[in-house]
Every structure is written in structure tokens, then in C-alpha cells.
Structure 1
């Protein structure tokens, strides 16, 4: 037996990286079948989603009764609207026939594998995985918090507007691997991503507008999370100065031109600028991201960055649970036909 095992290891060592990953996933499923892992995950999802009691996802009524089973899962019936539902209705897993493969796919996402490599490992097409990715991220970006605490650093970063994957572009020549802007500096070809972060690492990172940020966009993005007790620290852009003055928020401006990056040894925007740097490096691996999906990737990055990109069972489960508990009714068709709107 030991000799057979040694020979097996020699053969595995000669396999390609993708084949090795397939063997690894097979062994993992054999040791701990994904059906049991997936079942436990569904149970945890149900407990989290319905922690305040069962509620109909169609009409929000609490008058719900058990109503047999569907595809091996408990089905429920609402006595108010008479519609039926399961634990996964209006979630990422709704109507999917490959629930167990989602765990393997998220494992691949954490490892930074491309969609094509992931497809070989998971056993579905890369196009299917593209929509799985965005169904997960559409749900994940609903994670939110109420208000910032204390010092809040705010700064913006920019990405070139991209229509990656879109056919029939007529208003400009196609770009190769992202391309470059026709204009120098910040222009309306640039997508502005506003990042605001307090010292507890509560973070907003979303697409704000095209071109330079303006006061009304600052209010829309972070106004509800700021109070007069906060201290705002920004660069010297005038929109922030005007906004802080109107809202009576204490404000410090970092003017890089005079070489001063820290005020009173405490007020700076280094945390936000560090996050910008990590974001740019992380997103470069996708060789261009369609702007209409950019908010999804921003949500994904915040999740992995907050966990130092660690690929652990706990993080994979946390990622799935965080995505599954939010309502998500998007279909492949609605994701494909979605438009970029500010």
C-alpha cells in the first residue's frame, strides 16, 4: 500500500497546476463531502436570514407554514399571498442546480484564479462562473454600516471608463487591454471612485461620478454617515472644503504641494491612499474591468482586503454567508444587459 501511495504521489507531481487543483478539490470532497458542507451552509444561511422569524420573501408576511419539499429542500407557503418559497428564494442560490460547486468557486476566487482556470476546476463553463461571480458580488455590496466614528479620511481615485465585453461600440475606437485616455489629467473619460474611511476601518468605496468630484456627490455618497462630531480630512480639492463648511464639520486639508502630509501629527489621508494603492494593484490582475461592474469589484476588494487576502475556510464561509443573506433577484440576463448609471 505504501508503494502504491508513493507511486500515486509521483504521478501527481507530474500533473499540471490545474490538474493538481482538480485532484485537491476531489480529495477535499472525499474527506468532507461538499453535500454535507453545503447542507450546513444552507442551515447557517437560513438561521441568519430568518433570525427574527420566517418571513415571506414575496410579501413580507409572517404567516408562513411548511409546505413539503422541493429538490430536497424544505418548502414554505405564505398564508397571506399563497406563494411558496424555499430557504434560497431571492438569494444567490435561487434556482441553481449546482449549489455545492459554489464553495469550490469561492475558493478559486480567493486564490485569484482566472475564470477559465476556475471553470476547469469547478466543472462548469467560464461564462457561467462570470455570472456566478456577479450574483455573489451584487449581494455582497449590500453590506453597510450606519455612521463613521471620529476622524474620517476622504479621497478619490480614478479609473478609465471601460466598456469591456460590449460589442458594437461606435463612439470611439476599441481599446486594447484597457488603453489610455485621450486627455491629460482628470477628464470625463475618468470614473471617480470616492473612498472614505474612519480609523476603525469602516469604509465606503463606490463609484461617484465621471470626472472631478463635486459637492452634491460627496453628500450623496457619505452624507448620511457623517455627523458634526466627525473630523473630515481630505486633499485640497475645493468641493470638500465647501461641503465641510456647509455641514459645520471640522475639516483639515492636506496640501501636498507644500510637502506637508500630516497635520498636528494626527490628521492625514495615508490610510485611504494606502487602500487606493492596494486596490489598483489588485484590480490590475483583471486586465480591465467594465465600469458597469466596477462597484461589484470594489465590494469584493474591501472584503478580501479587510481579511488580508487570506484564503481560509472561515473567510470562504463568511463570504458566502455574507452574500447569501441579502436579497438578490438578478438573473444572468439582467446582469448581462445592465447599464452604467451614475
Structure 2
């Protein structure tokens, strides 16, 4: 999808304006190797288009910026760069992608995969026991009252406004943003990742009942994820007004949607993206206990997934073009 859309919509001659340096950024790169595969794919697409259109005899040079929060392990990322890498110059850019990271009109393609559904911060209402959005006994908006859902949605909108405003200044006219993130059908709130978080919350409540955690430790812990629909993302992009929507659609990340889910692998995936947050809030000693119990309760997780009636593995793919 990305290859097709970029080949059809990238005006490389206009983007380069006589230069031979093409700049790409991965926003939310983590530690690899997925970011390396993605950057190499984009470079290959751009190179092939450049040569097929016979735009010049000079070879393109690529600058790739790897961006993530300052706590990201950039040492591991850069240690994993292949020794034979000759296609691009690499640099790390620490900082939140909800703020400006680059000079005006300096980026040709921005890419973000499995990152933009993370909120910049938890809605403040979730920390207030007197607020309608107080969320006791749960760690996410899945299955929560409307006030909780609204608090998450408002924070996601605030974040997207900041993200798009920053990118509108950094991306050159005609440049692209590629976004891949968990998404839901219009009018639906539940995503399988949200169900996984609900399952995790239920295990935490079991630990409260067993005296291993205090109730407040769970009540004050909310996971900062939002899974938008095509309709919601379209509204926010149109509100910004600086980008044309080239593609905005749902796809399923699973190669075989009929295949059964490997529940143990799903729980290990859940651990991979939640354990740091759990440890920071509840202590590192809780993590092993929590996920040992989660594996012991895997049949409960399986039931929650399959009884939900939702399609498992839905992703939202967006390709935006700077006007």
C-alpha cells in the first residue's frame, strides 16, 4: 500500500528542487529492527521512482532521522545498524513528536508505525477521584463509562492537533506522512489491544484481592492508548487543513484472519509494551508476578477476545500529503 501510494503521489522533482538529498524521519522508532526495515523500504521506493523518471544523473543521498523519546535506547538501535549500510546517513533525534523536532520545510517523508496511538500524557481527569472520569478498577477506557472515553478522546484530539501542526511546519510542500496504528471501525470503541489491557486490569484486580497490591495502585493507573476510527482521523486531519488525505483506510495486520490467535504470544506482546509502565507505577517486583498470573489465566483472555465479536488485528493506514 505504501509503495503504491508513494509511487503515484510523490513528485520527486518538485520535492528536491535541484538538490540530491532526500530526508526521511521515523517518528517513534523504538530500538529496531522494524524501523530499519521500514526506512530501507522507503529508500528503495524513492530510488526506483527517481531512476524510472530519469530525473538526473547524480545519485540520490538519503538522510534518515530516527526519533523517539529521550528514554529510548538509541545505543541498541545504532548498534543494530548493518555494517554494510551505504544507502543513508543516520542520526538520532530525541524528543516528543508532539512538538517541533526539525527546521521548517526540511523533511520529505515522515513515517510513524505503532506509535501515534500513545498519548502524550494521561488526561488529568483520570487522576481526580471527584471527576466523572475517575476510572476505579480499570486501566483503560475499554468498557469504561462515557466520561472516561470522552477524556481519552479529548486528549487524543489535543495530541493530534499538536502532531499535525508540528509536521505541517517541518514537511516540505508535496511531502508525505505515512501512519500505521491500531484503529477501529467507525462507531466502534473496542479494539483487541484494548481487550488485552482490560484483561491485564482484571489480573491486577485479582492481585488487589490477594493483598499483593493496594486498590489505589490500580485506580490511579490508566494506560495511555487511544485507537481512532477512519472518521475520527479524517476529521482531525481536515481540521488541521494543511494535508491532503491520499489514503485513509482500515487493514488487517494478520496474514490469515481465520487462524487462531496464539494466546501465549499475545500475552508476551502485551508484556513487551506494558511492563515499563507497570514497573514505573507499581514497582518492578510486580511485573513477573503479573505476567505469570496472566499466562495462568490465558483461557480468560482467549474468551474475552473471541466473545467480543470484533475483528482481531485491525490497523488504520493513513497517507497524508502536505499541501
When the two structures are superposed, what TM-score results if normalisation uses the length of structure 2?
A: 0.23
TM-score, structure 1 as length reference = 0.22
